[in-house]
Every structure is written in C-alpha cells, then in structure tokens.
C-alpha cells in the first residue's frame, strides 16, 4: 500500500489501510487514519492529524509552516476530518500561537485544485472551495458554504453556514449564513434560496430568512425590527443562527 519511492518519517503513524503513491513525502508527527489515499508527489508535514477515507490528490501540501512573520517555530497543528477530497496543488498550513495553534478542516469537504487555506482557519463540514479560492489567516467558514473560483477572503472574515460566494469575489467583511455575496468589493446580493431548497429547508423558513435578509442585512434595522425577528426566532433555529451571526460580527456585514 506504500510505494517504494515514498519517504515516510519514523515519527508518522499510518493505518495499515492507508495508500501512499510515488514520491510522497510524509515528514514529522503525522497521523493518518484508515482508508485515506495520498497520491503522487504530495507533501505532508507534522504535527498533522488526518482522518479516515480522505483522498489527497497529487502535489498537495499539508501542514507546512504558516506564511506569518509572527510565527517562530512554536508548536502548532493541522487537523483534517474524514471523507475530504483535496485536489491537485492545494495547500493547507498549520496554525499559529496567536490564532489558537490549530488550523482545522472538518469532514466531507471538496477543496478544488490550487485552493489555499491559511493558518488558523476553521472550516466546517460539506464546504466547497472551487479552483484557486484562497482564505487568509483566521478565516471561519460554516457548514455547506460554497466559494466560487478565485474568490478570496481577508484575514478574520467569517462566512456563515450555507453562504454562497461568487467567483472572483473579494471578501473584506463577514457574510451571514444563508446569504449570497459577490463582487470585487463583495456585497450581499440575496438569500441563497436555491441552496436552501436543495437542503430541504421549508418554504416558510426560506421566506422568513429572506425577510430577515432584506431588513437586517441589506439595511441596518431598528430596535423594533430586531424585536420582531427575535420573537420569530424562538421557534426557528435557522433565523436564530442568522441573528446571532449578525449581532456578533466584529468586521461588519457585507451589506
């Protein structure tokens, strides 16, 4: 299961079912769980933990030191969950002390070719980063979010669950859950209705979220508007998630 040209550190721990292709380099304290496949010429550096049933395609770099001048060799980690597809020439870097020390990628994600996830990013589950999408340090991405090709996110931005980011967008502010954002100076352009339908959100929930988008995301609602939505959120977890995200935004919302 391990090609004769692969170089694997004695510090690494690989499940016997892991498949390692030609010219792969696994360096340092790397842990890889069952049925993960690593294709040719990929480089994985520890400390790094990789779950089961992942497919790491050719020329991927995982666990490299952060591109952060404040990093001085302190202990940090990359954690990757299960069933991810990480495509050719993608890179995911370890964390830094100032960012909590861990870069984390959840499970069931698709990271397309040439995408980059920088230090201390926290990526949820079922996320798609299309080709060459790039996340700067400390970016948080919620479950089921989708980035179009060449979209980029500034440091410390938050992208909510089920959000959709158009290709070539530049994000410098937070994008709330369930919202679509697009543009060279990305702004929120609508609710991700089609994505919500595909994930079986009810028509009533979609209607309520759309009202919230129009009244609290496109424009800053007054206290009376907030009170109305907070009352409605008592019986609607998705709306509560949206309100909590907007309320806790530190960078401001991409309105």
User: Is the CB of residue 112 less than 8 Å from the CB of residue 129?
Assistant: yes
120 is catalytic: yes
User: Is the CB of residue 121 less than 8 Å from the CB of residue 139?
Assistant: yes
User: Is the CB of residue 96 less than 8 Å from the CB of residue 76?
Assistant: yes
119 is catalytic: yes
Token pair listed for 240: 């509560």
In the set 41, 119, 126, 162, the catalytic residue is 119
In the set 120, 143, 174, 182, the catalytic residue is 120
249 three-class SS:
coil
Identify each DSSP E strand in 183-229 by its residue range. Answer: 187-191
In the set 46, 99, 124, 137, the catalytic residue is 137
Torsion of CA 214, 215, 218, 220, to 10 degrees: 180
Indicate which residues carry an active-site annotation. Answer: 119-120, 137
């Amino acid at each position: 299961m391990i090609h004769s040209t692969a170089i694997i550190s004695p510090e690494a721990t690989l499940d016997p079912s892991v498949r390692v292709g030609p010219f792969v380099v696994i360096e340092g304290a790397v842990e890889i769980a069952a049925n993960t496949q690593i294709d040719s010429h990929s480089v994985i550096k520890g400390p790094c933990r990789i779950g089961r049933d992942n497919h790491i395609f050719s020329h991927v770099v995982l666990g490299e030191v952060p591109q952060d001048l404040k990093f001085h060799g302190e202990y940090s980690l990359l954690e990757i969950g299960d069933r991810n597809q990480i495509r050719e020439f993608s890179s995911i870097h370890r964390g830094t002390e100032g960012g909590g020390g861990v870069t984390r990628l959840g499970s069931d994600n698709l990271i397309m070719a040439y995408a980059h996830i920088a230090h201390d990013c926290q990526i949820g589950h079922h996320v798609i980063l299309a080709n060459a999408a790039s996340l700067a340090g400390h970016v948080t991405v919620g479950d089921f979010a989708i980035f179009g090709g060449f979209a980029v996110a500034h440091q410390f931005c938050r992208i909510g669950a089920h959000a959709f980011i158009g290709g070539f967008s530049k994000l410098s502010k937070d994008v709330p859950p369930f919202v679509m954002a697009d543009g060279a100076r990305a702004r929120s352009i609508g609710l991700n209705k089609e994505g919500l339908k595909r994930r079986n959100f009810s028509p009533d929930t979609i209607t309520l979220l759309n009202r919230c988008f129009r009244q609290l995301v496109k424009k800053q609602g007054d206290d009376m508007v907030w009170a109305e939505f907070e009352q409605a959120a008592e019986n609607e977890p998705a709306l509560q998630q949206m309100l909590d995200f907007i309320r806790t935004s530190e960078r401001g919302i991409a309105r």
